[in-house]
Amino acid sequence: MLGVKVWQRLLGVCKRTVIERVVFDEDADLVVAHVRPRRATKMRCGRCGRRAPGYDRGDVRRGGRRRWRTLDLGPVKAVLEADAPRVECPVHGPTVIQFPWARHGGGHTVAFDDQVAWLATQCSKSAVSELMRVAWETVGSILTRVLADIDDVVDRLDGLRRIGIDEIAYKRGFQYLTVVVDHDSGRLVWAKAGRDDATLEAFFDALDDERAARIVRVSADSADWIERVVRRRCKNAVRCADPFHVVRWATDALDEVRRQAWNAARGGTNQSASVRTRARHPQVHPLKKARYALWKNPDDLTSKQRQQLEWVAKNDPRLHRAYLLKEGLRHVFELGGQEGIEALTSWLWWASHCRIPAFVELAKKVRKHRAAIEASLEYGLSNARTEGINTRIRLITRRAFGFRSAEALIALAMLSLGGYCPDLPGRN
């Protein structure tokens, strides 16, 4: 009996697994454990676990038997081998029976899958592939199975009150993921390929109307498709604009004014005449070097960049006024609360009367999203947490290179950032 328990621990199987015998295949340098499920767990559908009558013995080409890779025994690979008959499930039709040591459809044991999933969230892909002796594409399939198993017992969408919604590019050719983050826990709770109304509708379908009605705050950028779906499906929530994106609008408007000043100083956009133009317009060179000084926050400027700003204020009042408008909008979010809302009103009047077309248009855009901007000022909610998750997803995307589907990337991201990653075998 002691020997059986030792083999159960070494092979990473539970008590519902009967170990019949263990042999060593010298030709393949492989430990083969012949196992079977206990009587109480036999003849159950591999998908739903229901008891069902037998259908056939399984794959006749393999004699009705299958093998599952399990954790290595030191330097030697190990597999489990068992009969794999099929049952006639009333819901799923002919299906391979349920095995207590493996997930349905997988060629590895639960312990092997869990160890690969844990390593994939902690190590590089080359380290995982080399250590576990599996292809990186196989790792993607394992991650998808592990995530599905976790989602069967964990409701990530329960208790959501404040969420952030954003999209992130994960592949060339305008391939995007839509992600949803819980502001209270800081976890990634949902992700799906796509960035349109239908994609976000899928999130609210999974959430259901009752729980959607409990959401009180939603932070997002100014994407119209997010605003439409949130207004339609999350009627009790207040939408908060992301301050970073709003300030970026002002930075883009400032950069447009800077390019106009650059072209005016050069006497046109003809690159071949740049040398002669620079000679005629000595302010061209300082304008070119002032780009980063105009973009950066005043507290982060170097002494040289401060001198460049002083040069802009003296030689190009229009560009300097655009810079002050950008900083004015940024200061609105620094103030926050009612003081920030009052400052926003003053800024809108200033931008509307500044006679700089780029900022006049910006004022119109800010007025269009004013309710969401004022909500962000009032509640102090931004998309910073969501952007932080996006940054980590970008790193994960580089590691996930080689996965053939977005599902594997999403599985790796959810296991890494969703708060529910399987423990290493024997550590829980």
Structure tokens, 65: 């038997």
Judged by average pLDDT, the poorest of 119-123, 156-160, 229-233, 293-297 is 293-297
Same domain, 335 and 294: yes
b/e sequence 6-31, b meaning 16+ C-beta within 10 Å: ebbebbbbeeebbbeebeeeeeeebb
Same domain, 386 and 237: yes
Of 107, 125, 148, which residue is a domain's last?
A: 107
pLDDT at site 273: 45
Under 8 Å between Cβ of 219 and 376: yes
Structure tokens, 219: 């932070």
pLDDT band at 43 (very low <50, low <70, confident <90, very high): confident
pLDDT at site 275: 42
pLDDT at site 296: 82
| CATH number of the structural domain spanning residue 408 | 3.30.420.10
pLDDT tens digits, one per residue of 404-424: 788 999 999 999 999 999 989
Residues in CB range of 359: below 8 A, 6 or more apart: 250, 253, 257, 322, 325, 351
- Residues 224-229: what's their mean pLDDT? 92
Residue range(s) defining the domain that contains residue 89: 1-107
Same domain, 175 and 293: no
Same domain, 308 and 387: no
Same domain, 345 and 411: no
Of 107, 133, 162, which residue is a domain's last?
A: 107
Same domain, 260 and 369: yes
Same domain, 17 and 66: yes
Q: List Cα–Cα distances, 31 to 102, 127, 157, in angstroms.
A: 18, 24, 43
Domain count, the chain: 3
90: exposed, middle or buried (C-beta count within 10 Å: 0-12, 13-18, 19+)?
A: exposed
- Residues 394-413: what's their mean pLDDT? 86
Tokens 């902690």 locate to 122
Of 107, 124, 154, which residue is a domain's last?
A: 107
